[in-house]
């Protein structure tokens, strides 16, 4: 029996290859702009967050910031050896997730900003995903 072909980056998800027809973005009730993307950034510490927020404002990118915790911090949380009070220390991990629905063009500018203006150890993890529908966006 031949192996199933592996999916490659850029492949359409399996669900989209099913027989069930997927509505075209235009046909959706709350269709987003064709170049809309969800920009996700995981900012490792608070000091660099300030610069990133300033950069996003300069570029005209709106966003929402969520306090977050790394996987290892979460694992360590239930198993302190000497530092059981660490969970009470505000912003123990201090990482933040920045979410923004923006355009491909602006997202590219944000990436350029992160690449050139933020030094390597502080540079956030950033990614974009295409958005087909959206509701409640403030323009």
Binding site for another protein (CB under 8 A): 14-15, 45-47, 72, 75-76, 78-94, 121-122
Token digits for 127?
């990614």
CB of 3 to another protein, least distance (A): 22
The DSSP bridge partners found for residue 38 are 101, 129
- Residue located via tokens 């000091």: 47
For another protein, the closer of residues 59 and 77 by Cβ is: 77
> Other C-beta atoms within 10 Å of 51: how many?
16
Q: Compare residues 1 and 72 and give the one whose CB is closer to another protein.
A: 72
- Torsions phi, psi of 118, nearest 5? -110, 130
- Minimum CB separation of residue 7 from another protein in Å reads 15
Measured from the CB atom, the residue of 86 and 137 that comes closer to another protein is: 86
Minimum distance, C-beta of residue 62 to another protein, in the bound complex (Å): 27
Nearer to another protein, 86 or 108 (CB): 86
Smallest gap from residue 96 Cβ to another protein (A): 14
Q: Which residues of 75-103 are buried (b: 16+ CB within 10 A; e: fewer)?
A: ebeeeeeeeeeeeeeeeebbbbbbebbbe
């Amino acid at each position: 029996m031949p192996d199933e072909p592996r999916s490659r980056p850029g492949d359409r998800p399996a669900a989209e290859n099913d027989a069930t027809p997927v509505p075209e973005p235009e046909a959706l009730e709350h269709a987003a702009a064709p170049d809309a993307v969800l920009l996700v950034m995981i900012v490792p510490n608070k000091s660099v967050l300030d610069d990133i927020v300033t950069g996003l404002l300069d570029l005209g990118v709106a966003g929402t910031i969520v306090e977050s915790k790394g996987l290892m911090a979460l694992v360590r949380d239930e198993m302190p050896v000497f530092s059981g009070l660490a969970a009470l220390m505000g912003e123990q991990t201090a990482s933040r997730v920045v979410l923004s629905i923006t355009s491909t063009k602006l997202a590219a500018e944000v990436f350029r900003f992160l690449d050139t203006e933020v030094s390597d150890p502080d540079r956030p993890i950033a990614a974009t995903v295409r958005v087909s529908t959206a509701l409640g966006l403030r323009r």
